């Protein structure tokens, strides 16, 4: 039992007493010990992410310090030591402590750390890296994960999260560090005296907010639109209120019970705007004041969810695909488009965006899941000066207009959603009406996402079993519909089943499988890069809502039933 050896090493090693006490409390729980020590935390689609606690498979100041020392060595090897690293953090447990740990590890390696004075949104970190011409950035956040999680996102000098080719180099430096013990931190006072720790704040805030406001599309909208907003105890409260106030929106109501930072996210079960339950308090306020729109952002403010009134006058949550296509349609209808304009989405995002973009003469590119791949494309466009980025989005509530940042930004997205809703209100419509109009013009599209939680070694084995099974023995028929295309992103091949033709996928390797049916419906399987889950995405389109509902339900029943039998 190798994990027991590691457990005992931590008990005997040079770790803080509170870490050892925590480990002693679980000495009779072999399953818990195994889960904490059977592996080290791994970089996924959202960087390093895990439960807070003692162990190699947990987030703690030692895993933070080791990752940061590896990052420091990576930066030194690149020759960018003098440029410094920007560090931001959100409202989660120990975020400030972990951010300071990272800063003082960098200082010990003689790399300057620019540390934000208090919590800031992740997209502002992306902007700050570019503004300060830094070598990279770190954000301490677990995004929308439950309260017991925290995480560690790493950014390159372009303000973009490290793509796999760069992340693998960083990982090699981290793995070459033998131990979690003995990693030195410079004294905070000494770091400040030597100019190796600089606290930043207002100057970056002002520049960032200015960049966000420049991305507005129109100004002749109904500024009296009534909006209820919840930051879900995270970082979005100050920047989003500021942007909308400075643009003249005066009927903006913040949910008081969820306004202030709270590491326990005590008013919600799960601080994720994808979960309709996080809007319960906002919905109650909205009903009292007859609000036109409800908005909610996740703890690090890179995702935003919107709630609008349907044709029965009841609030309904828009999914990420719906908000994305509404924003895309609004932007392209009200902007001067370049002949070389490009829209970027992910492979698990609805195809309705492609239909809309191509109708307006825009190219559409697909990337793997993870906004870093969208950010990477923006950088390529600027470097080659051959294409112009118009809009990027993913189904998981992430959107970006503009090139000031290279990550999804709920601040700019919130501004644009409010503006868009105000634009339609002036025309006697709301966002639900606008969505129905899109469906009438382009066809009905509907999507769903199902996640199956599978933790620990046994859970990982079950996820692997499902992926292997579908990779080697995929179904030929789903609910009476033929599978006509299979894309295996791990093996970089796409098979045209009907014609028995194979094409190479020109994207980085990733453990993802996508299946397209003969009615253009599709489903995708992907292990989560941030939690111990298997994610199954479904998308269907049809002539009307009843048609598309039937197709979607048929796929869900067949595939989910099959997978649940496999993981029993």
Query: Which residue numbers are catalytic?
Result: 143
* Alpha carbons 511 and 530: distance in angstroms, whole number: 14
Q: Which of 181, 147, 137 is nearest to 47 (CA)?
A: 137
- Answer positive or negative: Cα dihedral of 553, 557, 558, 562: positive
How would you class 14 by CB atoms within 10 Å of its CB: exposed for 0-12, middle for 13-18, buried for 19 or more?
exposed
Q: Where are the alpha helices (DSSP H) in 369-473?
A: 371-384, 410-426, 431-442, 456-472
Q: How far apart are CA 420 and CA 306, in angstroms?
A: 12
Task: Check if the beta carbon of residue 130 is closer than 8 Å to that of residue 102.
Answer: no
DSSP string over 79-108: T-GGG-EEEEE-SSTTHHHHHHHHHHHHHH
DSSP state of 58: S
Can you tell me which residue has the tokens 């390797």? 509
What whole-number distance in Å separates Cα of residue 469 and Cα of residue 475?
A: 10
Other Cβ atoms closer than 10 A to 251: 16
Strand partners, 534: 452, 527
The Cα–Cα gap between 343 and 377 comes to 10
- Alpha-carbon distances of 120 from 49, 238, 413, rounded to whole Å: 18, 9, 16
Q: How far apart are CA 47 and CA 170, in angstroms?
A: 11
- To which H or E segment does residue 357 belong? helix 352-359
* Main-chain phi, psi angles of 179, to 5 degrees: -135, 155
Pick from 126, 136, 128, 130: which is nearest to 203 by CA?
Answer: 128
* Torsion region of 84: left, alpha or beta (phi above 0 gives left; psi -120 to 50 gives alpha): left
**β-sheet bridge partners, residue 453:** 533
Is 276:317 a contact under the CB 8 Å cutoff?
yes
């Amino acid at each position: 039992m190798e994990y027991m050896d590691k457990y005992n090493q931590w008990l005997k090693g040079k770790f803080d007493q509170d870490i050892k006490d925590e480990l002693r409390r679980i000495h009779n729980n072999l399953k818990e010990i195994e889960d904490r020590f059977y592996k080290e935390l791994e970089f996924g689609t959202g960087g390093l992410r895990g439960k807070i606690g003692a162990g190699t498979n947990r987030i703690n100041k030692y895993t933070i310090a080791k990752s940061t020392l590896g990052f420091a060595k990576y930066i030194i090897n690149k020759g960018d030591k003098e440029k410094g690293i920007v560090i931001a953090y959100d409202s989660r447990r120990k975020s400030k402590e972990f951010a300071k740990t990272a800063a003082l590890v960098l200082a010990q390696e003689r790399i300057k750390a620019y540390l934000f004075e208090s919590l800031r949104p992740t997209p502002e970190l992306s902007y700050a890296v570019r503004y300060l011409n830094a070598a990279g950035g770190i954000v301490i956040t677990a995004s929308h994960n439950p309260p017991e999680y925290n995480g560690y996102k790493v950014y390159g000098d372009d303000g973009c999260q490290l793509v796999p080719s760069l992340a693998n180099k960083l990982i090699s430096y981290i793995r070459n560090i033998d131990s979690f013990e003995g990693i030195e931190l410079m004294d905070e006072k000494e770091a400040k005296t030597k100019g190796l720790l600089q606290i930043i704040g207002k100057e970056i805030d002002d520049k960032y907010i200015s960049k966000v406001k420049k991305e507005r599309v129109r100004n002749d909208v109904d500024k009296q639109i009534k909006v209820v907003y919840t930051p879900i105890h995270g970082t979005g409260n100050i920047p989003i209120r500021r942007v909308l106030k400075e643009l003249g929106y005066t009927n903006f109501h913040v949910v008081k019970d969820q306004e202030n930072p709270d590491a326990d996210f005590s008013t919600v079960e799960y601080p994720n705007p994808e979960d309709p339950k996080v809007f319960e308090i906002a919905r109650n306020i909205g009903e009292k004041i007859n609000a036109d729109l409800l908005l909610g952002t996740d703890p690090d403010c890179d995702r935003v969810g919107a709630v609008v009134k349907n044709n029965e006058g009841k609030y309904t949550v828009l999914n990420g695909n719906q908000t994305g296509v509404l924003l895309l349609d609004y932007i392209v209808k009200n902007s001067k488009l370049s002949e070389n304009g490009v829209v970027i989405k992910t492979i698990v995002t609805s195809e309705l965006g492609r239909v809309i973009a191509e109708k307006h003469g825009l190219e559409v590119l697909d990337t793997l899941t993870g906004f870093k791949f969208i950010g990477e494309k923006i950088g390529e466009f600027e470097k080659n000066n051959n294409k112009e980025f118009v809009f990027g989005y993913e189904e998981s509530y992430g959107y970006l207009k503009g090139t000031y940042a290279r990550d999804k930004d709920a601040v700019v997205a919130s501004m644009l959603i409010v503006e868009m809703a105000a634009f339609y209100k002036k025309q006697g419509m709301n966002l639900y009406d606008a969505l129905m109009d899109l469906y009438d013009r382009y066809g009905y599209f509907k999507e769903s996402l199902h996640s199956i939680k599978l933790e620990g070694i046994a859970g990982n084995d079950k996820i692997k079993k499902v992926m292997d099974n579908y990779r080697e023995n995929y179904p030929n028929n789903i609910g009476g519909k033929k599978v006509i295309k299979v894309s295996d992103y791990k093996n970089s091949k796409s098979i045209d089943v009907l014609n028995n033709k194979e094409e190479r996928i020109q994207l980085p390797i990733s453990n993802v499988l996508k299946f397209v049916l003969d009615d253009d419906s599709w489903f995708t399987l992907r292990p989560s890069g941030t939690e111990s889950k298997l994610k199954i995405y479904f998308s269907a389109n049809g002539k009307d809502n009843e048609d598309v509902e039937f197709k979607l339900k048929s796929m869900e029943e067949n595939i989910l039933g099959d997978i649940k039998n496999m993981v029993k």
